Amino acid sequence: MTDGLLPGVAATLVETPRLTQQVLHAEGVDPRAGGEAALLVHGNVSSSLFWQQPLLALHEAGRRVLAVDLRGYGGTDPEPVDATRGVRDWSEDLAALVEELGLERVHLVGWSMGGGVVLQHLVDAPGRVASVALVAPVSPYGFGGTTGLEGQRVHEDGTGSGGGAANPDFVAALAAGDRTADAPTSPRSILRTFYVAPGSLPLDSALEDVFVTSMLTTRTGPDHYPGDATPTDAWPGAAPGGRGVLNTMAPTVLDVSGITELAVKPPVLWVRGDADQVVSDTSAFDLAFLGQLGAVPGWPGAEAFPAQPMVSQTRAVLDRYAASGGSYREVVLPDVGHAPHVERPQEFVAALLEHLDAPAAEPAGLT
């Protein structure tokens, strides 16, 4: 599936023991050459196509860089997603890809949901990870259903997160391949309203069409996006299921705060926009915050079901990471939404290049 490639970008299918994965790279680059590379991991309802501008810029700067499609997106096999394992289906797919490509050292760069994927890979298989960059990442405690800086669940079963949190009209528009901006829940409208800050992309441009094409590669259904849900009497009426994308980020199965316990802690770059409406302490996709605004009826109030402080949770974990021997740098881009690498590609690449040049972590003993 190679629609939407920019000039200078090529796609290669890489067969691993787990599945066949599509990898984007600059033309003339052999993704199987081994050695060291930056590996770019996209977020939910997207694909590697969103990485093309920074991929080309990093290549021009002399870096070896690859961008992968996760299972169920882009040109990678649409294998089902077992959400009972959190994001490990994807993180173990990454491990298989790294092995197949012979990469000895990898710089992991994860956007949104992909941030959770690369942190899970770091927790489970840290040996080859030279550095980590998080781009508007999901909270270390998942998306929805938690409160406080330690990610305490509002309800033990994760109510308020998972497959039941998706907008069914948006899911239907994805499944129908809707390329219009006729409805506020069409992929193009969601891109313009939430993926980027207003005015970040020229409307109806060729680049916007590439990103819509990317979004429409998302497989839909209970095994993919959004996944299944479990009815519950507690507000808002649904707890996570065990299948599909949104359930992988339920707090019952996703907790990557264990990065603070690693014996060797690679340097972390955290890039985000200050106008992000997706990953935020006041997220427009958090049912609790929407309930607070009156957009989801029946909200039981801030004491019973507070909004999730997503950014604050990430900062708290990274502060502990730094206090236990690691290091991180936070870069906040003004007037930027959920896609800094798309909205300000030059500034993003400059920050990433500086990060890639940082010295690697040395063993410091268990913390």
Per-residue pLDDT tens over the stretch 28-66: 999 999 999 999 999 999 999 999 999 999 999 999 999
Per-residue pLDDT tens over the stretch 268-307: 999 999 999 999 999 999 999 999 999 999 999 999 999 9
Per-residue pLDDT tens over the stretch 105-118: 999 999 999 999 99
Residue 72 has pLDDT above 50, yes or no: yes
At 1 the pLDDT is 61
Q: How many residues does the chain have?
A: 367
Distance, in Å, from the CA atom of 219 to the CA atom of 320, rounded to the nearest integer, reads 37
Q: How far is CA 186 from the centre of its chain?
A: 20
**Strand pairing category for 268-273 and 328-333:** parallel
Cβ count near 350 (within 10 Å): 14
Average pLDDT over residues 167-196: 98
Provide the pLDDT confidence category of residue 365 given band limits of 50, 70 and 90.
very low
Average pLDDT, the chain: 96
Helix spans in the chain (H) = 52-60, 88-101, 113-124, 168-176, 187-190, 206-215, 245-248, 287-292, 310-323, 340-343, 345-356
- Determine phi and psi for 230, rounding to 5 degrees: -115, 120
At 358 the pLDDT is 81
Amino acid making up residue 145: G
Residue 222 has pLDDT above 90, yes or no: yes
Q: What is the DSSP letter of 362?
A: -
Distance, in Å, from the CA atom of 114 to the CA atom of 131, rounded to the nearest integer, reads 15
Helix (H, G, I), strand (E, B) or coil at 282: coil
Task: For the chain, list the domains and their CATH numbers.
Answer: 9-356 (3.40.50.1820)
Q: How far is CA 147 from the centre of its chain?
A: 20
- Beta-ladder partners of 221: 226
At 62 the pLDDT is 97
Residue 363 has pLDDT above 90, yes or no: no
Provide the pLDDT confidence category of residue 364 given band limits of 50, 70 and 90.
very low
Whether the Cβ atoms of residue 236 and residue 185 lie closer than 8 Å to each other: no
State the first-to-last Cα distance of the chain, in angstroms, to the nearest integer: 45
Among residues 141, 95, 133, which one has the least CA distance to residue 114?
A: 133
User: For residue 79, with 0-12 CB atoms within 10 Å meaning exposed, 13-18 middle and 19 or more buried, which class applies?
Assistant: middle
At 128 the pLDDT is 93
Per-residue pLDDT tens over the stretch 303-341: 999 999 999 999 999 999 999 999 999 999 999 999 999
Whether the Cβ atoms of residue 174 and residue 187 lie closer than 8 Å to each other: yes
At 367 the pLDDT is 27
Rounded (10°) CA dihedral 133, 136, 141, 144: -160
